Amino acid sequence: MIYTVTFSPAIDYVVYMDDLKQGETNRSKRETYYFGGKGINVSTVLSRLNVKNTAMGFVSGFTGQALEEGLCEAGLDTDFVHLEEGITRINIKIKTDQETEINAQGAAIPKEKLEELLGKLDALSQGDTLIVSGNVPNTLPKDIYETMLARLDGRGIRLVADATGPLLKKILKYRPFLIKPNKRELEELTGGEIRTEQELAVRAKALQDQGARNVLVSLGADGAYLLCEDGISYRREAIEVKAVNTVGAGDSMIAGFLAGYLKNGDYRCALRLGVAAGAATACSEGLAEKETIMELFQNN
């Protein structure tokens, strides 16, 4: 079974406008909303690719109830910890000719509720996959990733990590199956600007030497690079699409990669499906649907 953890899920409220003028009353052209958070994004795309998984994390208040019910109506399995105070955050995405985001802080997570989540994770066993992604809310200990993975260490659980900076570096010792930095994050982790394909390969190898089994580097308009645990690397150019959305493309790439890998254990196929899923979300208003992903996969 695949499990995703989203510490601070959100309802993304998207407002489309011609222009945004500060200090004045602005009116939208239209609005929509999505249930989000990095782990939930991965769960959603996995589910659309017919890969069974369970979304975990924390929800609270009327917004948390709406998010949980919405995910269930969409066919996702959930196992959230319910907080007694606060509300699940609402993030505001304002789209004009630019994209402006206001991301809320979210509800405080008390120690006993954190222990409840850790208890749920204790039920994971050999062959399960755990996906941890995103930043740690300031209401949680900064070493929560390490705490989680230390409890699960040695159980044969496949770990996928999409984190940044010190968060990622500190969990490499637990030998994650897959990490997915983007180019900028890889540069920050390994010491400066990457100018050539050779430098890209060397920097990915540096993270592999520190413990990561497979290193998937998302390169935006330049596609993706994968260094596999067997030492073989693959490079995939980006699929040309009209980009209308940046939210969730990296999460979709992880979901596509895992769906491809779990089907037949083929890393080349996994990378190809991951790039297709990322591109499919980039050209969609929300997270990609299966039909769009498979069309891009089959035609590229």
Catalytic residue IDs? 251
Strands 53-60 and 99-102: unpaired
Q: Is the dihedral of CA 288, 292, 297, 300 positive or negative?
A: negative
Cβ-in-10-Å burial (0-12, 13-18, 19+) of 43 comes to buried
Query: Edge-to-edge strands of the sheet including 129-133?
Result: 77-83, 53-60, 2-6, 129-133, 158-162, 178-179, 214-218, 224-227, 233-236
Distance CA 254, CA 209 (A): 21
